[in-house]
Amino acid sequence: MLFDFGGVILSSPFEAFNRYEAEVGLPLDTIRSINATNPDDNAWAHFERGEYGASAFIDAFEDEARTLGFEVDGTRVITSLRGVIRPTMVEALRRCSAEFKTAMLTNNFKPPSDESGTEAMVAEPAVDGEGASLVEIHELFDEIIESSVVGVRKPEPRFYEIACERLGVDPSECVFLDDLGINLKPARTMGMQTIKVVDPDVALAELETIVGISLR
């Protein structure tokens, strides 16, 4: 059982991006459109593979935004990344972890080398956006696969292969939940069953049908 974290267990960072865009008068989904431009080699891709620190990401992302005609505060983009726990998804994860092997598949950012300055904002957080602890949630997973650690990211096929190798399972035995279709496509090609999480209740109903147990 494979779960994305932000956008599945936590609320989507895109919600926070949209709030920032509305606040400063940017068109809706400006940040998503920047992320989708040159997606394998843009600032976001380098950041998630651990090739850029926060400062390098901010400079590169703001340059990319400017090239597309937008003025975006890269620091605000980073601080928008922390979602809020979805209790129903955590309960589903808890029940799944009692029955199946589970892994978190997360595109994230390199931990800071110190605890100060811009770099400190990108650490894998111990709390969500409202200050609730994430430690117990992390402990529910058998494995946590982080892009910044393994050097590849969703939707690169190798990322999913690493998850299967660590769990000791075949892709055909896996169900993967993510909020982005682009991340689900390679998993589906590998033979996984996939669920796109838009409405958590709808996603959980789909998952219950697949696994045959109550998750709520």
Q: Specify the pLDDT at position 110.
A: 67
Q: Distance between CA 45 and CA 25 in Å, rounded?
A: 26
The residue from 61, 79, 97 where one domain ends is 79
3-state class percentages of the chain: helix first, strand second, coil last, to nearest 5: 50, 10, 40
Encoding tokens for residue 37?
Answer: 């431009």
**What CATH number does residue 55 fall under?**
1.10.150
Residue 145, CA atoms < 13 Å, CB-side half-sphere: 23
Q: Distance between CA 116 and CA 113 in Å, rounded?
A: 9
Q: Specify the pLDDT at position 182.
A: 95
* Model confidence, pTM: 0.84
Instruction: Tell me the pLDDT tens digit for each residue of 181-204.
Output: 999 999 999 999 999 999 999 999
Instruction: Tell me the pLDDT tens digit for each residue of 39-98.
Output: 999 999 999 898 998 889 999 999 999 999 999 999 999 888 878 899 999 999 999 999
139, part of any domain: yes
Mean pLDDT of the chain, nearest integer: 90
The residue from 47, 79, 111 where one domain ends is 79
Q: Specify the pLDDT at position 143.
A: 97
